Amino acid sequence: MGRLVLNSVSRKFNNFQALLNVNFEVADGEFVCLLGPSGCGKTTVLRLAAGLVAPDEGSICLDDKKINGVNKECGFVFQEYALFPWRTVKENIEFGPQVKGMTKTECESISKHYIDLVGLSGFENHYPKELSGGMKQRVGIARAYANNPKLLLMDEPFGALDAQTRNLMQGELLRIWETEHISVLFVTHSVDEAVYLADKVVVMSARPGKVKEIFDIKLTRPRIRTSMEANIIRDSVLKSLVTEIKMAANK
Amino acid sequence: MKNLMKILFVVIIAIFVAGCLENKKTPEVSMPINLVKMSGQEMIQRLGTGEIAGFIMWEPYPAIAVTKEDGKYLVLSGKIWKDHPCCVVAYDDDWYKKTNNSDEILKRMALSQLKSVEYINNAKQSDSPDHDQLINYTMQFGQMTDPVAANLSLADVEFVYNTNVAGTTTFIQRIQDFGIFDPNKWNLSGYKNASDYANSLVTNNYVDWAVNNKDENVSKIALKEPVNIRYAYLVNDIHELPFYIGWQKGYYRDLGINIVIAEGAPFQNGAFEMQQGFKANTVDVGSLGIPPVIIHRINSNDFSNDDTRVGVIAGMNNEGSVIVVANNITSLKDLQGKTVGFPGPGTIQHVLFLMEADKEGLKVSY
Amino acid sequence: MKFETGKRGLLINILSLIVFTIVWQILVILARNDIFNIPFIRLRDIPTPVETWYALVGSMFTRIYGPSFTYGIINHVYASLQRVIQGGIIAFIIGVPVGIGVGYSKFLGNLFNPIIEIVRNMPPMAWIPLSIFIFVSGGSIFIVFIGVVFPIILNTIQGVKSTDSRLIDAAKTLGASESMIVKKVVIPSAFPSIITGLRIGIGVGWMAIVAAEMVIRSPVGLGYFIWNMGDLGRYSEMVAGMVVIGVIGYIMNISILLLQRRFINWVD
């Protein structure tokens, strides 16, 4: 359930090669972070997984089924939240269930469940405009979850938040994930974030994007950010990433 | 957002429905006759299509409509008020003051008018040798192609040259009654009553001179040095045929007056002639209906310089307007709630129509 | 255009109107007393604010002098408003779907854009002669329609095109089909622009109907009233009518704006 496999995936846009021969896997229930310099195609990988774009070469499969067209078994969380501004928190979360044709009571019970889960009880009838960044992203997460996905795709979801909120939200995400355990593919710039959250970190090269190195993070949860083991791992990952960043900057 | 939709929806639908219901309302007895301004051509056209139930207009439009069989004469204006004054010859007071020999010029304008009127009255007879020439002039001036219509249009116009103070007084009084004067402006004018105003507006002196000198040798009484007079008149108005005849037959020219058509002439109606002609000082002498003269000399006047002040020196015609109605209308009452064309508010046709409606206790909107 | 909101802004607004009125009164009085004049303008003939006020009050309601029955400004306002609302409704019903179609579909866009671009540059007033010719009652509602529909169409197109693509992506990932995306994302997203289009369109329609009424055949309507008063030389009434037109146009605009602010409250 929720096993994502990328097999020799390549993708070209107009005049540049975004991804070249990408191979990796998200195992059932695994939390994988995709780490890489700007422009290396991390977001493209997510969009391929969501079915918003298709690969030129290679294949991408969810639970052994090839992804063809928009994948309804994934939930997508955007960096800029992408909440529907005319819908309240509750209505945003109910969007997926409504689209599926569920009854009003069904939709309401689903949204209530996830509002509680992400810790937004009491804010059901607020509009996105009235919420802080962290709260908006909770809605984003709840909305993605409410669609009952097998795989959660997250595109630098905490990138727009300040450092403290970011740390808080990382903790919240893990709490939610441990309550409702599904596979997660999480894109980020931040080594600290990747090491704190992921079971596995995939480091990507500068454009054209390839998998450079994969790190298994064997730290037990709950993790301590500043533990010695964490520091060691973080150090290796950083080294791997830094060369890529330099290369991307020189291009 | 849903609330906004609901509110807007309800409000708008309410107004929409009210509007539709309004349109479907059946005319009640007390509904006014609706006068709507339009040009003579439009009157003929819309009577033909049935869009209007009638119109009141100066000749030749009634004649044209009737010869096309789109309608019939309901009331001749002579029936509304026998021998009522209609068009007159008036001079611009500013021109009068700054021109040295204005009195001499006006005498000869009155004489030309007299000659034209006598010619027309003789040639109107079908056995007159000038009859055909008259009909030709009529068709040219009225832009008609049908001699039958031309004859008909001449029939109910009474061409005159004398002024009519009593008739003018009556008009002023009725215009007062109908609430057409601007009360502020009336007060500024200083006229005490209708008769006071009429006497100050109209003079028969020039016509008296013309009557005394009408048999004189023309070259003897012509002006020593010819003058240009900027003349204004109304478009397609048979009432002003004497002016046209005087112009075409050279009565003015022989007396030393060069007629120059004033800027903007011929005007659509008397109001324009007063506002854009006399007031703007582009007209020296002109012919138009007496009611627009009466109204605009007050309403459109700038009392600090009296720029719309005029003087009436001669008549042009009496009667000559007709209430024409669609063939299925039998009386003025039938026009209630319906649309009737007229040349505009403040015209003589307007005042006459009000007077006729008053006799029958009907209301007229404009 | 940003206006200062709040009490201070409102105070300045009211003061400026008062100052304007006083200046107007003074200029005309000065001109009438020969103290001051502007060349080529008959300043003296312009009614003063005081005269205009009395004329407004005096002609507000229907007056009857014997057989003469003059509709009051109230009646004229009602008639003109009717036409604007009716024309506006039709324009909305037609304009919004057209705008959505043209904005969303490239094919429809290419198909209709040329016609829209050419016709929208024809001012409503240019349609008056044709309208009088083809519509029995003069087509005043048609003129309003022409005025209102193009701002609605153009603003709707803009609203549709400026839909945040990420919202569409989000809807896709949540399982929405294309028709659902149009219904549940594109249209709500475009709604503020649609209402703005309606507001602008109503303004244009209002101005158009007043011009049209000067030419069409109904005895009621603010345009007709103004023209009539001019013909009679009743300039105070004429200016009073103009003021009414302006004030009502302002009220309509502000009403929709306030409703927008109150109810479309998700926009930042």
Instruction: Quick: pLDDT tens for B222-231.
Output: 888 999 999 9
Contact flag A85-C267 (C-beta cutoff 8 Å): yes
Contacts of A151 (CB under 8 A, 6+ apart): A2, A4, A26, A49, A62, A73, A74, A75, A182, A183, A184, A185
Query: Are A136 and A64 in a shared domain?
Result: no
Contacts of C215 (CB under 8 A, 6+ apart): C128, C132, C138
ipTM more than 0.85?
yes
Question: Which pLDDT belongs to residue C2?
Answer: 59
pLDDT band at residue A181, thresholds of 50, 70 and 90?
confident
The alpha-carbon gap from C188 to the nearest alpha carbon of chain A, in Å, equals: 7
In CATH terms, is domain C68-263 a member of 1.10.3720.10?
A: yes
Touching check for C129 and chain B: CB below 8 Å?
Answer: no
Contact flag C191-A76 (C-beta cutoff 8 Å): no
Question: Which pLDDT belongs to residue B78?
Answer: 86
- Among A128, A148, A168, identify where a domain stops: A148
137-166 in chain C: CB under 8 A from chain A: 164, 166
Query: Are A91 and A159 in a shared domain?
Result: no
pLDDT above 70 as % of chain C = 97
Q: If you average pLDDT over residues A116-131, what whole number do you get?
A: 91
Contacts of B15 (CB under 8 A, 6+ apart): C81, C82, C85
Query: Are A51 and A117 in a shared domain?
Result: no
Q: Which domain holds residue A93?
A: 84-148
Question: Which pLDDT belongs to residue C89?
Answer: 92
Q: Tell me how far apart the alpha carbons of residues C150 and C200 are, in angstroms, rounded to a whole number.
A: 10
Chain B, nearest residue to C70 by Cα: B365
Is it the case that residue C189 has pLDDT exceeding 50?
yes
Query: Are A177 and A92 in a shared domain?
Result: no
Q: Tell me how far apart the alpha carbons of residues C24 and C42 are, in angstroms, rounded to a whole number.
A: 14
Query: Are B39 and B79 in a shared domain?
Result: yes
pLDDT band at residue B187, thresholds of 50, 70 and 90?
very high
Contact flag C184-A100 (C-beta cutoff 8 Å): no
The alpha-carbon gap from A163 to the nearest alpha carbon of chain C, in Å, equals: 24
- What is chain A's Cα-based Rg? 18
Question: Which pLDDT belongs to residue C64?
Answer: 87
pLDDT band at residue C187, thresholds of 50, 70 and 90?
very high
Q: What's chain B's average pLDDT? A: 89
Question: Which pLDDT belongs to residue C41?
Answer: 80
* Structure token pair of residue B326: 């669609």
Q: What is the pLDDT of residues A107-119, one digit of tens each?
A: 999 999 999 999 8
Question: Which pLDDT belongs to residue B27?
Answer: 45
Cα first-last separation, chain A: 40
Query: Are A212 and A246 in a shared domain?
Result: yes
Check whether the bond before B60 is cis (ω within 30° of 0). yes
Residue A242 lies in a domain: yes
| C-alpha distance from residue C23 to each of B277, C17, C26, C30 (Å) | 31, 10, 5, 10
Q: If you average pLDDT over residues A205-225, what whole number do you get?
A: 86
Query: Are A68 and A161 in a shared domain?
Result: yes
Q: If you average pLDDT over residues C234-255, what whole number do you get?
A: 93
Question: Which is it for strands B227-232 and B285-289: parallel, antiparallel or unpaired?
Answer: parallel
Q: Which domain holds residue B219?
A: 87-319
Q: What is the pLDDT of residues C129-185, one digit of tens each?
A: 888 778 877 688 899 999 999 999 999 999 999 999 999 999 999 988 999 999 999
81-120 in chain C: CB under 8 A from chain B: 81-82, 85-86, 88-89
* Structure token pair of residue A23: 């191979």
SS (H, E, C) B36-83: EECCHHHHHHHHHHCCCCEEEEECCHHHHHHHCCCEEEEEEHHHHCCC
Contact flag A127-C265 (C-beta cutoff 8 Å): yes
Residue B16 lies in a domain: no
Query: Are A112 and A207 in a shared domain?
Result: no
Q: What is the DSSP letter of B97?
A: H
Residue A69 lies in a domain: yes
Question: Which pLDDT belongs to residue B1?
Answer: 55
Query: Are A157 and A244 in a shared domain?
Result: yes
Beta bridge partners of B322: B57, B76
Question: Which pLDDT belongs to residue A152?
Answer: 93
Residue B1 lies in a domain: no
Question: Which pLDDT belongs to residue B235?
Answer: 86
Is it the case that residue B5 has pLDDT exceeding 80?
no
Question: Measured in whole angstroms, how far is the alpha carbon of residue C131 from the centre of its chain?
Answer: 19
Question: Which is it for strands A65-66 and A57-62: parallel, antiparallel or unpaired?
Answer: antiparallel
Chain C, nearest residue to A52 by Cα: C169
By three-state DSSP, how is residue C211 classified? Answer: helix
Contact flag A100-C166 (C-beta cutoff 8 Å): no
pLDDT band at residue B109, thresholds of 50, 70 and 90?
very high
Query: Are B42 and B154 in a shared domain?
Result: no
Q: What is the pLDDT of residues C210-233, one digit of tens each?
A: 888 887 767 889 998 998 898 899
Q: If you average pLDDT over residues A95-106, what whole number do you get?
A: 91
Q: Which of C34, C85, C234 sits opposite B299 (nearest CB)?
A: C234
Query: Are B192 and B101 in a shared domain?
Result: yes
In chain A, the number of structural domains is 2
Residue B4 lies in a domain: no
Query: Are A10 and A102 in a shared domain?
Result: no
Q: Tell me how far apart the alpha carbons of residues B101 and B89 are, in angstroms, rounded to a whole number.
A: 18
Lowest mean pLDDT among A27-41, A125-139, B93-107: A27-41
Contacts of B161 (CB under 8 A, 6+ apart): B110, B113, B114, B117, B207, B210, B242, B314, B315
Q: If you average pLDDT over residues B232-237, what whole number do you get?
A: 89
Q: If you average pLDDT over residues B127-150, what whole number do you get?
A: 88
CATH number of the domain that A34 lies in? 3.40.50.300
In chain B, the number of structural domains is 2
Chain C, nearest residue to B9 by Cα: C89
- Among A94, A129, A148, identify where a domain stops: A148
